[in-house]
Amino acid sequence: MRHILVANAKGGSGKTTLATNLAGYLATTQANVMLTDLDRQQSATQWLKRRPADAPVILSTQHTGKQTNTLDWMVTDSPAGLRDEKLADAVKDADMVIVPIQPSAFDIGAAADFLDVLMQEKAVRKNKTFVALVGSRVNSRTNAAVGLAEFMGDTGFPVLAYLRNSQVYTAAAEQGLSIFELRPSLVAQDIEQWSVLLEWIQNAQ
């Protein structure tokens, strides 16, 4: 089993959107996937409850027994304020940590602090857990987007994607779906933005 932790200490950074769409994508590949929701708001759990019966199955932490013993992937949506021992434990258990960051001075400042803390984690320093970044809700024509790109490029971590601020994510979430399960003509541009990210999670080891 491979474990992806979606984390950022700041709330509203796009963690749940990233986690649910990752889980949805992996489920479409016929993999055995579990989505773990550590956030108090339980947004990922509510997304799972809205999921149509005919959609590819994604397990939750409520599922136990043989199904969880044969998992291919676990995706964890972490809470805001993940710090100290809880962060250390979460990182140690993960193969990959993906950090979504929005293009604002507040988000960049919070992300800088979080990445500094993340770098101190033993699993990251010893390359047992790989870390990468994703720009979240990005309008490429703004100065804020340019500032985000400069910041992420300077961190030394892989930059996997700049995901635009698109209504397709809201439409998918309302149905308990990922964008990979919507009509292709509606999401072609958005799915293209995921290509490097999806390649990275398959190859990171």
Nearest to 17 by CA among 108, 121, 138, 131: 138
pLDDT tens digits for range 21-60: 999 999 999 999 999 999 889 999 999 999 999 999 999 9
Q: What is the pLDDT of residue 125?
A: 86
Could you tell me if 59 and 105 are in contact, meaning their C-beta atoms sit under 8 angstroms apart? no
Q: What is the pLDDT of residue 140?
A: 84
pLDDT tens digits for range 170-191: 999 999 999 999 999 999 999 9
Q: What is the pLDDT of residue 128?
A: 82
pLDDT tens digits for range 99-139: 999 999 999 999 999 999 998 888 888 888 899 999 999 99
List the CATH number of the domain containing 17.
3.40.50.300
Q: What is the pLDDT of residue 55?
A: 97
Residue range 192-197: mean pLDDT, rounded: 97
Residues 6+ away with beta carbon under 8 Å from 173: 17, 20, 47
Least confident of 45-49, 141-145, 175-179, 197-201: 141-145
Q: What is the pLDDT of residue 133?
A: 97
Residues 6+ away with beta carbon under 8 Å from 157: 99, 115, 131, 132, 133
CA 77, 41, 183, 189 torsion-angle sign: negative
Query: Model confidence at 19, in pLDDT bands (50, 70, 90)?
Result: very high
- Residue 51: domain span: 2-203
Query: Model confidence at 165, in pLDDT bands (50, 70, 90)?
Result: very high
Q: Is the pLDDT of residue 68 over 70?
A: no
Residues 6+ away with beta carbon under 8 Å from 24: 56, 58, 172, 177, 178, 179, 180, 181
Q: What is the pLDDT of residue 52?
A: 97
Q: What is the pLDDT of residue 199?
A: 96
Q: Is the pLDDT of residue 65 over 70?
A: no
Q: Is the pLDDT of residue 18 over 80?
A: yes
Residues 6+ away with beta carbon under 8 Å from 185: none
Phi-psi region of 65 (alpha: psi -120 to 50; beta: other; left: phi over 0): left
Q: What is the pLDDT of residue 63?
A: 57
Chain centroid, CA 131 distance in Å:
11
Counting the structural domains of the chain, the total is 1
